[in-house]
Amino acid sequence: MRNKRFFSRLSDFVEYGSFREEEYTLSPSHKANIDTDTPENRWLTSVQHSERSAPVRLMDWLKLRGFEVFNNLYRIASVIICITLIAVLLSVVVFLPPFGSDDNPAVNEVVERYVSKTVEETGATNSVAGMISAYRGFDTLGEAHVLFVAACSVIVLLRVDPSERRRGRLVDPGMTGEDLDFEPNSDLILRKAAKLLVPLSFILGLYVILNGTTSPGGGFSGGALMGAGLILCSVAFGFGRTQRFFGDGMYHLVKTVCLASYALMMAYFIFMGANGFDDHVWLGVPGSIISGGLILPINIAVGLEVACTMYCFYALFRKGGL
Amino acid sequence: MPDFLMNLFTNYYETAAMILFGIGFTTLLTHRNLIKKIIGFNFMDAAIYLFLAAKGYIAGRLAPIIVDGNTDPSNYVNPIPTGLVLTGIVVSVSVTAFMLALTCRLYDRFHTLDIDEITHLVRKERD
Ranking A51-60, A166-175, B93-102 by mean pLDDT, the lowest is A166-175
What's B18's domain CATH number? 1.10.287.3510
Nearest CA in chain B to A155: B101
Q: Are residues A49 and A161 in the same domain?
A: no
pTM of the model: 0.80
Q: Which residues of A256-285 are buried (b: 16+ CB within 10 A; e: fewer)?
A: eebbebbeebbeebeeeeeebbeeebebbe
**Calpha distance A86→B15 (Å, rounded):** 10
Q: Are residues A81 and A210 in the same domain?
A: no
**Cβ distance of B54 and A99 shorter than 8 Å:** yes
Q: Which residue has the higher pLDDT, A65 or A317?
A: A317
- pLDDT band at residue A19 using 50, 70 and 90 as cut-offs: very low
Domain interval for residue B49: 3-126
pLDDT digits (tens, 9 = 90+) for A83-139: 999 999 988 888 888 888 877 777 788 888 888 888 887 788 888 888 888 888 888
Phi, psi for A4 (deg, rounded to 5): -60, -40
Average pLDDT over residues A130-159: 89
Q: Are residues A172 and A243 in the same domain?
A: yes
Q: Are residues A141 and A22 in the same domain?
A: no
**Residue B100 confidence (pLDDT):** 93
Q: Is the ipTM of this complex over 0.90?
A: no
- pLDDT band at residue A300 using 50, 70 and 90 as cut-offs: very high
3-state secondary structure B28-82: HHHCCEHHHHHHHHHHHHHHHHHHHHHHHCECCCECCECCCCCCCHHHECCCHHH
B57 chain-A contacts, CB cut-off 8 A: 99-100
Number of separate domains in chain A: 2
Average pLDDT over residues B22-49: 92
Ranking A22-26, A244-248, B41-45, B46-50 by mean pLDDT, the lowest is A22-26
Q: Number of residue pairs across A and B with CB atoms under 8 Å?
A: 177
**Residue A6 confidence (pLDDT):** 63
Q: Which of A216-230, A267-281, A283-297, B105-119 has the highest mean pLDDT?
A: A216-230
**Residue A153 confidence (pLDDT):** 93
Residue A101: inside a domain:
no
Closest by Cα among A210, A222, A206 to A124: A210
Number of separate domains in chain B: 1
**Cβ distance of B13 and A131 shorter than 8 Å:** no
**Residue A35 confidence (pLDDT):** 53
Average pLDDT over residues A7-18: 62
Please enumerate, as own/partner, the contacts of B69-75 that have beta carbons within 8 Å and a separation of 24 or more: B69/A119, B71/A115, B71/A116, B71/A117, B71/A118, B71/A119, B71/A120, B72/A116, B73/A111, B73/A112, B73/A115, B73/A116, B74/A102
Q: Which residue has the higher pLDDT, A3 or A157?
A: A157
**Residue B45 confidence (pLDDT):** 94
Q: Are residues A290 and A193 in the same domain?
A: yes
**Cβ distance of B87 and A143 shorter than 8 Å:** yes
Looking at A94, A109, A134, the residue that finishes a domain is: A94
Given a cut of 80, is residue A169 above it in pLDDT?
no
Q: How far is A50 from chain B (nearest CA, A)?
A: 32
Q: Are residues A82 and A163 in the same domain?
A: no
A118 chain-B contacts, CB cut-off 8 A: 66, 71
Amino acid (1-letter code) at residue A70? F
Interface residue of A111, A120, A126 to substitute, partner B, most B CBs within 10 Å: A111
Domain interval for residue A270: 125-319
Q: Are residues A13 and A79 in the same domain?
A: yes
Element (H, E) at A295: helix A295-319
End-to-end CA distance of chain A: 48
- pLDDT band at residue A214 using 50, 70 and 90 as cut-offs: confident
Q: How far is A3 from chain B (nearest CA, A)?
A: 16
Q: Which residue has the higher pLDDT, B66 or A171?
A: B66
Given a cut of 70, is residue A17 above it in pLDDT?
no
Residue A99: inside a domain:
no
